[in-house]
A and B are shown apart, each in its own frame.
Chain A
Amino acid sequence: MATIDGRFLHPGRAAGPVLVLDAPLSFWGGTDLSGRIIDRHHPQHGECVAGTILAMRSGRGSSSSSSVLAEQIRQGTAPAGLVLAEPDPIIVVAVVVAQELYGRSVPVVLVPPSRFASLRSGLPARIGGVQQGGQP
């Protein structure tokens, strides 16, 4: 199983099938509470992010996305971990809050664009190795 390492924006360990998004996704208005992509304009409309290692180049959209992602973590329908190529405050606030409230850690790792481009949907991968940054 491939290991994805980089700069941890939030620490933790996760494993699951990789889902590489072809376009940025707003969790608010773009996904439902079961983790399904409901944005009709999104190329992966209908796919499900729950339990995946979700690779998205950058975040997009409303700051209410923090609430939706944190609620998915509460309900167990969130991605297992997230891989970004650009830092995204909305995603990081969501995982920090879910950690505070429910003790559930969804790691967020920032990788260089070249590493991001090498990721392929469907292959199993693991996040977690040398950890830095974020709050324990």
Chain B
Amino acid sequence: MLRGEQGPAVAMAMRVVVGLAEVRDAPRLVEVTSAHIDGCLFHGQVGLDFARRLLDLGGRTRVPTTLNVGSMDLLHPDLVRADTPEHREIREQGRALMEAYVALGARPTWTCAPYLVDARPALGEHVAWAESNAIAFANSVLGARTDRYGDFLDICAAITGRAPYAGLHTDEARRGQVLVDCTAIPAHVLTGDLAGALLGYIVGLRVGSRVPVLVGLPSTTSEDQLKAFGAAAASSGGVAMFHVVGITPEAPTVEAALGPLAPPAAVETIRLTPDDLRAARTALTTARGDHLDVVSIGTPHASLDEVAQLAAHLAGGPPLSERVDLYLSLNRSVLAQAQQHGLVTPLEQAGVRLVVDTCTYVTPILRSDARVAMTNSGKWAHYAPANLGIDVVVGSLAECVASARAGRVVLDEGTLG
């Protein structure tokens, strides 16, 4: 491939893959069965130049490839603001970048949650995924194998079908390195919808980029909770893989998660309490007072269950306040399923603004005078203050809906026990 016998685009992509393999000291490359691309979000001219160069050279993905969120909601283009020259550039260049990646052969999934579409690699399958929450979910929940990939390398892996055999592709790097004991947290808190986000935020801060092994989560822990956990832990820290004993596929027991070289007694243990969760909510919440402009749900993109839960919370209650905009971000695939289940019309009638193909904190969607936003996502809360210049409040889905109705922040101290 490097020599160009498969064309100049493959040769160029292979130079990038090999360049990374040398840095990673990889002994060889590994064939991957799918790719997930994060490079379709506009960060500057270089992203567009790179995609168009590959296209001009005849580049084409050779493995099934999904696309992360772009800078535009192509189904609702008016949602992304066009009120400044910078915003208009994001709209135009962002759309051109999205079109370039589709032309390279990737599927227009436009989602940070490709595992909610039909892209679910099997246990042990090697893939090349970008986007930190998707990486954590693929490794931890599905048991597929991907290292931390990002812009440029993701499309090069898709075009070559290869990635460096290093990092989380290898058995050694997947073993747990630190135990996180959650047995002191009451079950009714751990089963709440905020537990994943707050646990993830704490664990990311405490473990950095190590592989944590969680002990004491209830057997009913859902994929949605694991999704929220991984997204938050990959934001506050660099977590790309975690184990939950009794739940995730490579952790039937503590011993299995740690591997043969690390007996549990010799491994650092972090013991978490309800006080840690309350402290995490306080640390992530930058707003003071009860002023509220926006509520944002669906980061990472909402699952069908999460859409149904929001619809259930909204059914039959008082209307949403006219002062608060409530956004729900989800992908096209889940939107179509929600439509089949009759969930979309009641949400729209209740005043919920649906965002697809993108997300409310990566492109200008919120109204320009919004000062305070509320979310149930640890990831959104972590990044939005810097990205959007706003303050955030973290609340459960019930608290978010109650606040959107009241027109001000309403928290329930019982949420965290």
Contacts and interface: CB of A to CB of B under 8 A. Distances in A.
Q: Is the interface of B mostly helix, strand, loop or mixed?
A: helix
B397 to A, nearest CB: 27
A96 interface: yes
A97 B22 contact: no
Q: Is the interface of A mostly helix, strand, loop or mixed?
A: helix
Nearest to A87: B23
Contact of B39 (A67, A68, A92, A101): A67
Interface size, A (range): 20 to 34
Contact of B44 (A33, A62, A100): A33
Contacts of B386: 29
A1 B47 CA distance: 36
B49 A64 contact: no
B22 A71 contact: no
Interface of B: 12, 15-16, 18-20, 22-25, 38-39, 41, 43-47, 49-50, 53, 130, 132, 148-153, 386
Contact of A67 (B15, B22, B44): B44
B215 to A, nearest CB: 29
Contact of A68 (B22, B41, B43): B43
A100 B17 CA distance: 13
Given A64-B151, A66-B153, 10 more contacts: A9-B22, A63-B132, A70-B50, A71-B43, A90-B150, A93-B19, A100-B15, A101-B46, A101-B49, A134-B19
Contact of A63 (B12, B38, B44, B47): B38
Contact of A97 (B45, B148, B149, B152): B152
A93 B47 contact: no
Contacts of A5: none
A101 B46 CA distance: 8
19 contacts: A9-B23, A29-B386, A63-B148, A66-B150, A67-B39, A70-B46, A70-B50, A71-B43, A88-B23, A89-B24, A89-B148, A92-B19, A93-B16, A93-B152, A94-B152, A100-B16, A101-B50, A134-B22, A135-B18
A96 B151 CA distance: 12
Contacts of B25: 87
A83 to B, nearest CB: 15
A35 to B, nearest CB: 13
A62 B131 CA distance: 9
Interface string A68-86: 1011011000000000000
A100 B25 CA distance: 22
Contacts of B45: 71, 74
B43 A64 contact: yes
A98 interface: yes
The 8 closest A-B pairs by CB, nearest first: A63-B150, A71-B44, A67-B43, A96-B19, A71-B46, A70-B46, A66-B151, A67-B151
